[in-house]
């Protein structure tokens, strides 16, 4: 399996994570998976930031559980995971988001809808992405092995950018 060290420059902060796939995987499939994963990671980190800013002054014991959930989620989604060679899982990211929503509703006695925890408009920026490796834009109609060869033990650094519309 090829290990992709993914860097996603963001307006707020640069995010990084590791992803694993076969060298024979289509670039379009890799881009879709990476876009979804980057979107979840950004959503989770943004949710943590918004909640910390919104409820920094609340000091209830129940908020302590929320604080612990936020700490765990931020640690899981942080770019420091790359240094420890840990891969992000979309399932785990979704579970952290659900856990935060549940703890937030419990701690603050408000339904998640009232807390405005749903997707933010910035989540859509990862829907149409482009992959870059070694200064080259990877064409969506090619396979990853067309660029990196057939060695499944490779580790490459790719950069995610927004795809430009050709209209």
For 162, phi then psi, to 5°, come to: -75, 135
* Helix axis angle, 90-108 to 61-77, nearest 10°: 160
The SS3 assignment for 20 reads strand
Q: Rounded CA gap, 100 and 24, in Å? A: 37
The answer to whether 5 and 15 have CB atoms below 8 angstroms apart is no
Q: Note the pLDDT tens digit of each residue in 110-143.
A: 666 665 655 554 445 556 789 999 999 999 999 9
Q: Rounded CA gap, 31 and 128, in Å? A: 9
The SS3 assignment for 130 reads strand
Q: Rounded CA gap, 77 and 45, in Å? A: 7
Q: pLDDT value at position 115?
A: 59
The answer to whether 25 and 144 have CB atoms below 8 angstroms apart is yes
Query: Taking 60 as the threshold, does the pLDDT of residue 3 lie above it?
Result: yes
Q: How confident is the model at residue 64 (pLDDT cuts 50, 70, 90)?
A: confident
Q: What percent of the chain has pLDDT over 70?
A: 80
Q: pLDDT value at position 8?
A: 85
Q: pLDDT value at position 19?
A: 95
Q: How confident is the model at residue 76 (pLDDT cuts 50, 70, 90)?
A: very high
| DSSP tag of 149 | -
Tell me the mean pLDDT in the region 30-51.
91
The answer to whether 86 and 23 have CB atoms below 8 angstroms apart is no
């Amino acid at each position: 399996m090829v290990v992709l060290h993914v860097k996603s420059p963001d307006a707020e902060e640069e995010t990084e994570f590791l992803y694993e796939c076969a060298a024979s995987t289509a670039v379009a499939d890799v881009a879709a998976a990476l876009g979804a994963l980057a979107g979840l990671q950004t959503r989770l980190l943004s949710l943590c930031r918004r909640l910390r800013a919104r409820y920094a002054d609340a000091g209830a014991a129940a908020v302590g559980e929320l604080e612990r959930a936020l700490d765990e989620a931020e640690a899981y989604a942080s770019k420091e995971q790359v240094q420890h060679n840990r891969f992000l899982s979309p399932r785990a990211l979704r579970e952290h988001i659900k856990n935060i929503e549940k703890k937030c509703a419990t701690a603050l006695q408000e339904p998640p809808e009232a807390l405005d925890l749903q997707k933010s408009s910035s989540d859509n920026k990862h829907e149409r992405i482009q992959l870059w490796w070694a200064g080259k834009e990877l064409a969506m109609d090619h396979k990853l092995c067309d660029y990196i060869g057939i060695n499944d033990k490779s580790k490459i650094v790719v950069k995610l950018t927004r795809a430009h519309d050709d209209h």
